[in-house]
Amino acid sequence: MAQNSVATLKKGLLVLELIRKHQGITLAEVMKELQLSKSTAFRFLTTLEKLNYIYKIQTHYFFNPKKFSNGLEKRSNKDWASLHSIYQVAQNVQMSTYLGKVDGTDLVMTQVLHSPFLHSTEEELGNRSKLHQSALGKVILAHLNEDKLNSLLDKMSLEPATANTFQDSQLFRYHLKAIYEDGYAFDDEERIVGIRCVAVPVFRNNEAIAALAIAAPADQISRTNIKQIAIKLQAGSNAVTKEIETLENT
């Protein structure tokens, strides 16, 4: 009995170590890598998930680093570099994908993925732009409550990044209302000439805390495919929210 228990524990630790080394791994990949039957691999994965050592997004399993951190340590609200669901968004839309958060009147990039969408682009993490200059910033602003929005707009000067950037504060307010009604924002070369962007908000407790977006050359994003892109991004936003909640509650 003791030998069987040790052997089972060893296999379980091998599964956990395998998951730790990957940016997401499927049941089939665990079976292949460790030469396990489907039922055995599934049993290990289910047990590790129930114990919060790993978590699952769609068909992929991910290592939960918070399970092994000091209980007094808190994950910084600004440190989302370990989120995995954005990888699946990028692979689904096959366009450069961004996750950004608000810092004062700036938008700060917390994840940036370019083709082949396997690794976050480290040199672009932390890049800043003004909130009004991109779809990411605009979609967050549009979903803030009135007090927070007014407080931010009072501090913003609406300086242009290109000739297409909003500079009229009254028109910008009307634009934010339209974004709120649509549920997504469109950046028509407002920050970078030749680049268009579509963004949706990321919510937690019904509050917009970030934005998920894709960006591509203007000829790849037309007014006829914006809504289709937005629908894919909204599904991705839901996955990001779920992953955040999973990590914070374990």
At 246, the pLDDT band (50, 70, 90 cuts) reads confident
Average pLDDT in the chain: 84
CA angle 201–204–209, rounded 5-degree value: 50
What local confidence, expressed as pLDDT, does residue 123 receive? 75
Topology at the third CATH level for domain 2-68: Arc Repressor Mutant, subunit A (1.10.10)
Give the model confidence (pLDDT) of 139-155 as tens digits: 999 999 888 898 888 88
CA separation for the pair 233, 226 (Å, rounded): 10
Q: Find out whether 34 and 14 touch, Cβ atoms under 8 Å.
A: yes
Is 191 strand, coil or helix?
coil
CA angle 232–141–249, rounded 5-degree value: 65
CA separation for the pair 77, 178 (Å, rounded): 28
Contacts of 219 (CB under 8 A, 6+ apart): none
CA separation for the pair 197, 191 (Å, rounded): 9
At 2, the pLDDT band (50, 70, 90 cuts) reads low
Inter-CA distances, 54 with 61, 82, 88, 242, 250, Å:
7, 13, 17, 14, 10
Domain boundaries, the chain: 2-68, 85-249
Q: Find out whether 114 and 128 touch, Cβ atoms under 8 Å.
A: no
Give the model confidence (pLDDT) of 113-135 as tens digits: 888 887 778 778 888 888 999 99
Give the model confidence (pLDDT) of 173-192 as tens digits: 999 999 999 999 999 999 88
Q: Which residue, among 116, 110, 115, 130, has the nearest Cα to 210 in the 3D structure?
A: 110
CA separation for the pair 32, 199 (Å, rounded): 38
Give the least confident one: 25-39, 58-72, 153-167, 201-215.
58-72
The CATH number of the structural domain formed by 85-249 is 3.30.450.40
